[in-house]
Structure 1
């Protein structure tokens, strides 16, 4: 059953990856790089600081750092368990897709840490700031999905890697929201 899913997933990947064209390659390569989004993470911290002060921002920042670390490590555990080659390392499909972002990537790709981390951050920040920025969560989820798609576009993840990575992001995003809210309520007098 798992192998049937993986075979089906290869066909979906090939379809979406081959929709790409050279004039869009630079854009999607930029989108897929972690460093591109560092300024946005700084903006998140500034918005949190402006709305909640430094103490709650520190708690949120620690939660975000732990959330990303946990989601990232969980995806690494799954990669080592399933040992599913990334498209760019899969000899069965070489030459069938556009591999524009494969240099320096690990061998295995199930599941996507990019997808899990960015979805988790989108949910966490979007919900924490929802009272102040009503539509921010939708913008952040679109941003996370764009980053997730970039991984298919550049040829480093199958669509199933992305889908399950996003599910992991939802779980960790919601889980760390509960942790954040618990800490804020428990230590309310010290954090105000």
Structure 2
């Protein structure tokens, strides 16, 4: 396990040091959840357009609950594992380009988990109505990578977050389908 952790740290240092000042403001913008509001509004619009206000509203409510569940689950894991963030890791922090300085724990990435969870659920809701919903996967890809660029998560934090997001997105969709059948059929 120690070998994996060392590889994880070396990979982060490598990826983080690929950054440059000319791109820093872009990645700081990408990592900020509020800057993605237009994408969320587009998704909500497409859901309402496809399913109407009543059923679409139920879907949007399910998405709001999803974000809350994902956030709480991620915080539970972070507080249980208590892995230091790279920017606080005495072994590597001086090797990183640090642009922000969060103090919470690192494992697993809430950005990766929640954005993937949300996106998978949105894709599953929209794939029958729209031709290219998989383009939405660009959101968690860029959002997650921003955390490596900024040096605040290790690659394993991101990979596990994405995997958990995919699993939870699919499971949540199955649960949603059961509730939808009861409510709208």
Say whether the fold is shared (TM-score over 0.5). yes
Report which stretch shifted further, 164-173 or 24-33. Answer: 164-173
Which residue in 1 is equivalent to 2:68?
69
Aligned 8 A contact 2:116 2:169 in 1: yes
> Structure 1 residue 85 and structure 2 residue 109: aligned?
no
- The 5 A counterparts of 1:46-57 are 46-57=45-56
Tell me, in whole angstroms, the C-alpha distance in 2 between the residues paired with 1:18 and 1:125: 33
Task: Answer yes or no: is the 8 Å Cα contact 1:116–1:166 preserved in 2.
Answer: yes
Give TM-score scaled by structure 1 length. 0.91
Partner of 2:164: 168
* Equivalent residue for 1:126, pick from 123, 128, 139: 123
Q: Could you give the per-residue CA deviations for residues 28-72 of structure 1, whole angstroms, max 9, x where no partner exists?
A: 000000110112111111110011001111211121112111111
TM-score, scaled relative to structure 2 = 0.95
Contact 2:55 2:184 in 1 (8 A): no
The answer to whether the Cα contact below 8 Å between 1:89 and 1:107 also exists between their aligned partners in 2 is no
- Consecutive unaligned residues in structure 1, runs of 5 or more: none
- Aligned-pair Cα RMSD in Å: 1.2
Cα distance in structure 2, aligned partners of 1:166 and 1:42: 22
Partners of 1:88 and 1:71 in 2: how far apart?
Answer: 24
Moved over 6 A (4+): none
Deviation at 1:170, TM superposition (A): 1.0
Number of matched pairs: 185
